[in-house]
Amino acid sequence: MNGARRPIRPLSTSGSAAARAGETGFLAALVMLAGQLVWRLNWSQGGVVPAFPETVLAAIARLTPLSVFGAATENYGGLAKKATFVAVLVGIAAVGYGAGVLAGRLSRRTGPGLAGRLLAAGTVAGGLLLFALLVVLPIANLGAFASQSAHTVDILTQFLVTFALFGITWALFADPAPGLVPADATAGGAASVSRRRVVGRAARGTATLAALAGVGGTTWRLLTPRTAPEAVDASREAAQRIADAAGRAAPAPSGPAPVAPTSAAVPAPPGAASAALALPFEQLEANGKLTPVLTSVADFYHVSKNVSDPTVSADGWALEVTGLVDREIRLTHADLLARATDQKITTLCCISNELNGDLIGTAQWSGFPLATLLAEAGVQPGAVDLKFHC
């Protein structure tokens, strides 16, 4: 009968159809990641609001035993963090492949058209979004639906938009009717289906390469932040000026002035031995083989679980002392600078620093004693612990 529904037969095996759906899911995950990283680099309020991959990394860091974290820092330094971040990106892309396979199966029920594909991909993306909001965010210490973050709206907006981008990308690039074609298709019809499939694969491949380039480029920018050369030079010059001033202010050695010995039997004057010991270091210093006396801010080491540390604005920032105190104190950044009259040259060394390691630095620090602040607040007798959080 002319009005009867034409039977359909598979044009390819279900395995190859699932693989194509998975490849489209891989592409959709890359597009989602590229969107998240582009947003992170351009619209995340100075890096204060993390992208989704950074949130996953923060969750992994919280679940990592401290001994493992310390060993990774000692053996690999910042490379461990960067490698873990890249592994997170690969893992998200792999999950995207599996999500694409699942969306392909659902599209057989919702229909092969664009609306059906959107419904299938949206259902899968929605499930992944709920997992991120209810599982990943709490583990990352942000609370369910980012309720414990100061940037809840920004985080939720990023997640909703980019996970929706996953679903839309999958629906646009997935096969309209994966593996299906009318059973009585003519040779011309089959050829048309074949041409559409070739064009679809070419478009999917081109989009995948472009998305890979986008993820790679944004990841490189995030992992290798650059400081302006003039800022680095100014920081090093400031450190050198402080070191020179400290050297001039150092008291002269006490005791009689050294006198050259007239014979081998005359004992060496006081200070001659130390001068002889200092000579090799002076030679190394002249040859540029010693680190500076003071480490500039630009060169000072830091250990952080963040992929890229945020730039925190001084506007609105405050130091608050609360809890079991007689008087709660709130100091703005300007208040803190006004009180910071004490200056000390101190060396800091990370507990994970190895012999000849670079996790050590010496600088002039400005501030005021914590004991003074606590005395002003009036710590009550029942206080046991002092907790710092930021």
What DSSP string describes 355-380? TT-SSEEEEEEEE--HHHHHHHHTB-
pLDDT at 234 (0 to 100): 86
Q: Is the pLDDT of residue 53 over 60?
A: yes
Q: What is the pTM of this model?
A: 0.73
Please name the residues in contact with 39: beta carbons below 8 A apart, sequence gap of 6 or more. Answer: 51, 158, 162
Q: Which of 109-123, 129-143, 280-294 has the lowest mean pLDDT?
A: 280-294
β-pairing verdict for 342-349 and 329-332: unpaired
The DSSP element (H or E) to which 87 belongs, if any, is: helix 78-110
- Which is more confidently placed, 225 or 336? 336
| Mean per-residue pLDDT over the chain, rounded | 83
- Which tokens hold the place of 231? 């800022």
What confidence tens digit (pLDDT) does each residue in 237-275 have?
888 888 888 776 655 555 555 554 444 445 556 566 666
pLDDT at 190 (0 to 100): 53
Which residue has 């009036």 as its token pair? 378
pLDDT at 224 (0 to 100): 85
Contact 217, 210 (CB under 8 A): no
CA Rg value for the chain:
31
Under the banding of pLDDT at 50, 70 and 90, the label for residue 329 is very high
Q: Which of 103-112, 156-165, 242-251, 377-386 has the lowest mean pLDDT?
A: 242-251
Q: Is the pLDDT of residue 3 over 70?
A: no
- Give one word for 279, left, alpha or beta, with left for phi > 0 and alpha for psi -120 to 50: alpha
Task: For residues 123 and 163, give the distance between their C-alpha atoms in angstroms, rounded to a whole number.
Answer: 11
Under the banding of pLDDT at 50, 70 and 90, the label for residue 21 is very high
Q: Which residues of 127-137 are buried (b: 16+ CB within 10 A; e: fewer)?
A: ebbeebbeebb
Greatest mean pLDDT range, 99-103, 204-208, 300-304:
99-103
- Which tokens hold the place of 127? 């499930």
